[in-house]
Amino acid sequence: MRSHHDMGGLPAGRVEATEHEYALWEKRVDALMVLLSAAGRMTVDELRKNIEAIGPDAYDRMTYYERWIHSISQTLVQRGVITIDELSRKMAQVEVRLKDECR
């Protein structure tokens, strides 16, 4: 059975092979993956496994690097590097900081 993310052999439209600027947060997600891989804290296989585990609705709403950060956080929780509580607290802190910056 084909998973939602699996486009192999299906028409998906034209791929635009143009260069574009990456947002700072996207560069940071990419760098995080490189560092975690180099430190032996995460593999590309884990990245792919957790991206493929995203439900169809969430998968379709997320951008490429949103899927990556979701997968990275899931892997770190699965490996016991961070806890759900630690991740939730940090996300709440970031949300408060972003709201303060927007004022």
What residues have CB less than 8 Å from 83, skipping those under 6 apart? 77
What pLDDT score was predicted for residue 103? 82
Average pLDDT, the chain: 89
Position 70 in a domain:
yes
Residue 16 inside a domain? The answer is no
Helix (H, G, I), strand (E, B) or coil at 99: helix
Instruction: Please indicate, yes or no, if residue 11 is contained in any of the structural domains.
Output: no
**Residue 7, in any domain of the structure:** no
* CATH at residue 64: 1.10.472.20
Q: Check residues 97 and 8 and name the one with the higher pLDDT.
A: 97
- pTM for this entry: 0.79
The per-residue pLDDT for 52 is 92
Residue among 101, 54, 93, 95 at smallest CA distance from 73: 54
Identify the domain containing residue 43 by its residue range: 24-102
State pLDDT tens for residues 28-75: 999 999 999 999 999 999 999 999 999 989 998 999 999 999 999 999
Domain tally, the chain = 1
